Each structure stands twice: as C-alpha cells, then as structure tokens.
Structure 1
C-alpha cells in the first residue's frame, strides 16, 4: 500500500512542475530567441605551409606601418587647431576653408582605408578587398569634388559652421 501511494504521489509532484516548466520555457523561447541561421557561409579555408613556417614579413614601406600610423595621428591632431583657427582669428578665409576641407578628406580616407585593411583580409577575399579599395578611392574623389564645389560656389565649411552655431 505504501508503495502504491508513494509512486502516484511522486508522479503527481513530478508531472506538475514539468508541465508548467515546459509551458513557461516555450513562452520564453518564443519571445527571446529565433532559429539559428548563418547569414553568410564561411569563407573557403586554405592552409599554406606548415605550422612551423615563419610568418611572412612584409617589405618595409614609408606609406605603411608606423609611418602610416604617425601620419594618421598627426592629421587627426591637426584637425582641432584647423577647425578652431578661423573662429579664433575672427576672419573666415577661403584658404583656411580649403585646408580644413582637405584635412577632413584625408582623415576620412585614411580612416576608412584602415577599416578595409583590418576587416577585409587580402588573403581570404582578394576580390572584395579590391572592390572596397576602388570604391573608397571613387568616394574620396567624389567627396573632394563636392567639397571644392561647395567652397567655390557656396558659402564654405567655416561659414556654414558659423551659421549653424548661431542658429
């Protein structure tokens, strides 16, 4: 008799939390997660050489490596005084506008170039790297022409900043 009562009691206790647990888990799952889908398939895996081969050292170039990093930092640091100078001097000069526009353009180009170098590896996706690089070069030329037109045919960058600031 004790064994019959015990088994039915255990079945009731064990069945009740499981049903509510499953129901709550189903609601939480429907609310919080979606099916796992790969957005892009993985790139082809290629192994070149062996584990003991040394990493290839790129040839030294003054336009890459530490020189490139130093140039990026100098351009970024020079943006602060170049942006403030026309307003501190009290005169809005087209020459300062041209220097500011060129510095912004160079800073943007080198920044996006660094992103392409970091996130589109040459050895895994050479065609995509070339497409992104040419796209960046084309966009830089278009923005450079647009800045030139804005400087020569409109009010210019510093006058626009002055008007927005006063508005």
Structure 2
C-alpha cells in the first residue's frame, strides 16, 4: 500500500514546491524527507521478532492426521466418560480405556502448550527440560493410574463414591 501511495505523494510534493509559497516549500521538503527516510531501524525493535520464520518441509502426515487424531480422541472421551456410569458395570477394561484416553489427551494438550509457548529457537534448553518433565509426569501418572486400577477400587468406583459423599 505504501509503495503505491509514495510516488503520488512525491509528485504532489514536487509540484507544490514549484508553485507554492516559500513557507509551504519548507514543509514539502520536510514531508518528502520523512517519506524517503532510511532510518527505519528506530521504528522496529531489533531482535528475533523480525527474523523470518523457516518454512517446514511439506508433509501430509504431519499436521492433518495429528489434528484428526486429537479431535477423535477428544470426541471419544464424551462417551467413554459416560459409559461406565450408564452401564452400571464395574469393568476394569472400560476403566483402563478411559484412563488411557484421559492420559493421552492430557499429554497431547500439554505437549501443544510447550510447542506454542516455549519456542525452540530461543529456549532450546528450557524446552528440552519441559519436554522431559512432561514425559516423566505422563509415565508417573500412568503408573499411578495402573496401580489404582489393579490394587484399589478403580477410577469409576472412586468417582461414584466421591459423587455420593
């Protein structure tokens, strides 16, 4: 837009400078000097905000299948969270599928938060720490849910007891 407007402003400034009063001529010179200034580094802050983003290699499997899997997992959590209570049965398989789906859904969600808010280019060390912390937390919660399912009452029964309390 600025490149379209700039030549017409320069023509108007030059035309006004030829046939106007001397006071206007000094203003026209100031205006033309402002528009042709090369001191734009003071306007934009220096740093990585102005660096171009590298274009990733195109891959059909990278984004679309991942997004589809996330949506299917999120939509599948609705019937999975209702089924154990509606059926009335204490099936450990249903509990295990529900716990696995919740754990995977949470892991993918926190992974997206790390990807979005900790850029790899600026904080590569911090990102690795958070990435490994997420993996350790996911394994720890998975082991805890497994122990709760096998050695205790299970998730569905615990929710029923909390609900009636």
TM-score, scaled to structure 1: 0.65
**Match in the other structure for 1:99:** 97
Task: Give, in whole Å, the separation in 2 of the partners of 1:137 and 1:46.
Answer: 29
* Structure 2: tracts of 5 or more residues without a match: 1-45
* Structure 1: tracts of 5 or more residues without a match: 1-43
Shift of 1:121: 0.6
**Runs of 4+ that moved beyond 3 A:** 44-49
Q: Show the 5 A alignment for 1:1-167.
A: 45-46=47-48, 55-60=54-59, 62=61, 64-167=62-165
Give the secondary structure class of the aligned counterpart of 2:106: helix
More helix by share: 2
Change (3 A) 1:128 1:61: farther
Task: Give, in whole Å, the separation in 2 of the partners of 1:58 and 1:101.
Answer: 35
**Match in the other structure for 2:4:** none
Task: Give, in whole Å, the separation in 2 of the partners of 1:47 and 1:162.
Answer: 51
The CA RMSD measured in Å over matched residues stands at 2.2
TM-score, scaled to structure 2: 0.66
Change (3 A) 1:56 1:48: farther
Q: Report 1 or 2 for greater relative contact order, CA contacts < 8 Å, sequence distance ≥ 6.
A: 1
Give the secondary structure class of the aligned counterpart of 1:155: coil
